[in-house]
Structure 1
Amino acid sequence: MKKNELFQALNHSRERLLRAIEGLDATHLTQPGAVGIWSVKDVLAHLAMWEAQTVTLLYQVRQGMKPTTLHLKTFDTDQQNAQWYEQAKDRPWEQVWADFQGVRVQTLRRLDAFNEDELSSPTRFPWLGMSLADLVYKWVVQHEEDHAADLETWRQRLEG
Structure 2
Amino acid sequence: MNVEDVLKYGDLTLLKSLEGLKNKDQEKKGACGVWSIKDVLSHLTSYEIMLSDLLGTFLNIKEQSPTLDLLQSSGGEFNDIEVGKRANKPFSEILKEYKKAHSQVMKRAKQIPEKMLSKNGAIPGYGDYYSLEDYIVYRNYGHKREHCAQIVVFRDNLNS
Unpaired segments ≥5 residues, structure 2: none
- Correspondence 1:26 to 2:23: yes
The 5 Å alignment of 1:51-70 reads 51-63=48-60, 69=68
Could you tell me which residue of structure 2 aligns to residue 135 of structure 1?
A: 135
Could you tell me which residue of structure 2 aligns to residue 96 of structure 1?
A: 94
Residues 26, 36 of structure 2: 8 Å contact kept = yes
TM-score, normalised on structure 1? Answer: 0.83
Offset at residue 20 of structure 1 (A): 2.0
Higher RCO (CA-CA < 8 Å; seq separation 6+)? 1
Q: CA RMSD in A?
A: 2.4
Could you tell me which residue of structure 1 aligns to residue 120 of structure 2?
A: 122
Residues 51, 139 of structure 1: 8 Å contact kept = no
The 1:10–1:71 alpha-carbon spacing in structure 2 relative to 1, beyond 3 Å, is: farther
Distance 1:93 1:73 in 2: 27
* Aligned pairs, number: 154
The 1:40–1:64 alpha-carbon spacing in structure 2 relative to 1, beyond 3 Å, is: closer
Query: % of aligned pairs identical?
Result: 25
Offset at residue 141 of structure 1 (A): 0.9
Q: Bigger CA drift: 126-135 or 95-104? A: 126-135
Unpaired segments ≥5 residues, structure 1: none
Distance 2:10 2:61 in 1: 29
